[in-house]
Structure 1
C-alpha cells in the first residue's frame, strides 16, 4: 500500500470530538471544531477488539498505518479477539474497561449510543463514510441522524444458492419450485424464522420497526402485518409450504437432495461442495400472489467499527484515524483477500476479484432490496417462530383470508405490546 495514499486517507481525521468521560450518553454537540495536531511525543495505549479470524490481518494493517504516520508513533495498539456478537454486550457492561476501537453488528448501535459506549464520527468523517460506502452500510452506521461507526462489511444477509442443472430460471419462485418438483429435488428455506420470513412480509410492503428512546428501551413500534399486504405475504409462505419440494431449513451442511437453498455467504463453501460444477447464486426470486409479482426482501446485516469516547482528545484523533483507515477501500479489498469478508466500500465492491465471487455478487444485489436489521425484542423471534411452526404444521392449509388476517392481527398486537 502506498504511504502517500494512506496519509491522504487520514488527512481529514484531525478534527475530532472531545468527550469529558465515558459511561454517559454521547453528546452530539460536543464536537471540537479545532484541528488537533498529534506528534510523536504524544503517547497512549489503544485497545482494539476484532473477530478472531482477522487478528493477524489487522496486526499487519496497523503496522502499515503507523509506518505511514510516524507522528502517531507514541501510541501502541493491543488487539484482543472479541467477535461482533459479543463486543457490544461487553462494552455496555463495562464501558470504561472496554475496547477503544471495536467491531460490532449493526443491530447493536442504538444500545451502544444509549450506553455512551460509542463516539460520533467527526463531521468530515461522516461525509467520507456516506460517499465511500453503499447506502445500506451508511444507514446501518447512523442513528438519530448522526453517524457513529465506520462500515466494515456489507455481507450479512441471505440469497439463493442453486443447482443450475436443475433450476432453469432463478428469478421466479414459482419456476424454481416447478423445476425442483419435476426433478424430485428439495427447495430449502427456513420459514419458521423471523429473520427469513421477512423476505415475504417486507416484500409485499409490510413494516416491522421499533423506536428506541434515550435509555435504549423500545418506546414505539410501526407494525403493518395485519393488512392486505400481510395476508398476501402469509399466503405466499403457505403456498410454499404446500409444495412437495419444500423443506424447512437454511443450513447447507444439513441439506440433502437439494436443488436450491436460501442462506448466506457463511455457507458458500458448503454450497460449492454440494453443487459442484453446477454451483450458482442469485438474488432472491420474486413470488406471485393473486396474480401480482413481489420481490423477496428481508433483513440486511453489516459489520461496523466503533470508537469509544475518550478523555484524551489526541488519543481520540488517533482512534478515529485508525478506524477510518481499517475501513478504507484498499484495506477492505485486502481483508476480502485474507478472510473473505464482503466490502461495504462501493469502489471495493466493483473490484474484479470481489465481483468474481458469485455469492457476494448475489448478496450485493439482494441487499438493495433489504432493510438494515435494527434492534428487536427477543420475544419477537420466538413469536415469529411460532407463526412459522403453525404454517409448517398445516394449521393454515385451508385458511381463508379472514382466518389469516385474524392470526396476523394477534401477531401484530403482540409485536406492538413489546414497546408499551
Structure 2
C-alpha cells in the first residue's frame, strides 16, 4: 500500500501536477492546515490527564483541542477515518495494520527529534518498515512482584531458586498464557516473526530452543510451587496461595494493599530450559500517538502528538495514570527513580529484559494458536512426543495471511 502511494506521488511530480513536490515535508503538512478544532482520542480513564496537556497546547497554538475517551481506537480509525479523531493514542502493535490500510500519517516533523530523546525500543515501536509514523508516549513490560518476608535477593536470581523458595503465580493454563510465555521462547533462542518481529516467514518457535521451553511447560504441573493463576492472582496472593507473581503496573495498587512495605519488585529472573541460563523476558508494549491520515490539520496534529509525548508531558502523564516514560531524560528523573515500580519498569523495558511485541497484522493469527498450544501442553493433552509436530504446525499457521 505504502509503495503504491509513493509511486503515484513520484509520477505526479514528474508530470508537473504537484507544484509542492520540491518543498519540505513540514511545509507540505502545514500548508494543508485549517482552523478546525483538533480531536484527540485517548484510552479509558485517561481523558482528565490529557485534557490538562491539551489546554497547555491550546495556549501556545491557535487551535482548539477536544479530548475523547475511546476503547477501540484502531477499530474506529479503520472503519471510518473521516469520522475518527485527528490524533489517536493506541498500542504500538496495531501500527502495522493501520499503515497497511493507509490510515496513519507519516511522522514528517519530529522523527529526528524523537530518535534523540526516546529509548531504542520506543523508536522501533513507532516505526513500520523503517518509516516512523508514531509518537511514543510511554513504555511498559511485566515484572515480578514478591513478598520480602519469603524471598531475599539471592532467591530472585533464577526461576529455579524462586520456585524452590515459595509459590509463584503464573498464567499458564488460561487465556493470556500466550502473552506471558511467548517471550520465554524468544529469550531462549527462538524467534517470533524474525529477529525484529517484522518477517512473516521468520518464526523459529519450532527450533530446539522453542521445543525445550514447551517441554518445560509440559512438566510445570509437576512443580507444586508453580501455581496457575489468571484473574484470581490477587485473591491468590491475599489468601497466601502464592508469594510472588508475574504481573504488571495495572496490579500495583492491589499488591501494595496486600503486602504493604513487604512488597518487592524485580525484573524477571534467569532460567535454564536446557540451553543454558538466559534472562527471562516479558513482552514490552509502547503506547503511541498517531496522526489520522484523513486529518485536515496534519501540521497541527503532528504538533499536538509531539506536545503530549515530550519529556515534560510524559512526566505529567506518569503522575496522572502511572505510565512509565519512554523519554530517556524523563526516565532518569527523580520522579521515576524514586518510585519503586516505575524504576523496575524502566529496567524491564530494555532489550536485556523484554522483547517488543511484533506489529505485523499476522499477530491476529498468532495469539489463538499459541495460547491453545500452551494451555493444552500444560494440561497434558500434548505429549512430549507430539510437541515438535505441534510447533511445526504452529509456525506454519501463524505465517498465513490474516482473514478479514
Superposition TM-score, scaled by structure 2 size: 0.84
Within the candidate set 111, 115, 131, 1:126 is matched to 111
Aligned to 1:137: 122
Helix, strand or coil for the counterpart of 1:341? coil
The CA deviation string for residues 67-106 of structure 1, in whole angstroms up to 9 with x for no partner, is 2x2xx32x222221114xx101100100111110110111
Within the candidate set 329, 338, 341, 1:356 is matched to 338
* 124-133 or 382-391, larger mean C-alpha shift: 382-391
1:407 paired to 2:386: no
1:264 paired to 2:248: yes
Q: CA contact under 8 A between 1:236 and 1:287: conserved in structure 2?
A: no
Distance 1:31 1:209 in 2: 38
Shift in alpha-carbon separation, 1:413–1:135, aligned structure 2, 3 A: same
Helix, strand or coil for the counterpart of 1:281? strand
1:277 paired to 2:261: yes
The CA deviation string for residues 242-273 of structure 1, in whole angstroms up to 9 with x for no partner, is 21111112443242421110111111111112
Q: CA deviation at 1:172?
A: 0.8
Distance 1:34 1:403 in 2: 55
Distance 1:120 1:347 in 2: 25
Q: CA contact under 8 A between 1:104 and 1:304: conserved in structure 2?
A: yes
Within the candidate set 100, 104, 125, 1:114 is matched to 100
The CA deviation string for residues 262-319 of structure 1, in whole angstroms up to 9 with x for no partner, is 111111111112222210111111111337101112321111001123574xx22111
Helix, strand or coil for the counterpart of 1:332? helix
Aligned to 1:188: 169
Q: CA contact under 8 A between 2:169 and 2:246: conserved in structure 1?
A: yes
**1:274-313 to 2 correspondence within 5 Å?**
274-290=258-274, 292-309=276-293, 312=296
Distance 2:73 2:347 in 1: 29
Distance 1:24 1:118 in 2: 14
Within the candidate set 67, 74, 86, 1:79 is matched to 67
Helix, strand or coil for the counterpart of 2:168? strand
Aligned to 2:49: 57
Distance 2:283 2:181 in 1: 10
Which consecutive unaligned segments of at least 5 residues does structure 1 have?
1-22, 181-185, 212-217
Q: How many residues align?
A: 373
Distance 2:26 2:200 in 1: 40
1:249 paired to 2:229: yes
Distance 1:104 1:303 in 2: 6
Helix, strand or coil for the counterpart of 1:52? coil
Q: CA contact under 8 A between 1:51 and 1:103: conserved in structure 2?
A: yes
Aligned to 1:161: 145
Aligned to 2:35: 43
Distance 1:198 1:55 in 2: 33
Shift in alpha-carbon separation, 1:362–1:250, aligned structure 2, 3 A: farther
The CA deviation string for residues 301-338 of structure 1, in whole angstroms up to 9 with x for no partner, is 111001123574xx221111111111010011011112
Distance 1:356 1:219 in 2: 39
Distance 1:382 1:291 in 2: 27
Q: CA contact under 8 A between 1:161 and 1:280: conserved in structure 2?
A: yes
Distance 2:157 2:210 in 1: 22
Q: CA contact under 8 A between 1:24 and 1:115: conserved in structure 2?
A: no
Shift in alpha-carbon separation, 1:45–1:240, aligned structure 2, 3 A: same
RMSD: 2.9
1:221 paired to 2:205: no
Aligned to 2:217: 237
Distance 1:342 1:396 in 2: 39
Which consecutive unaligned segments of at least 5 residues does structure 2 have?
10-20
Aligned to 1:13: none
Aligned to 1:147: 132
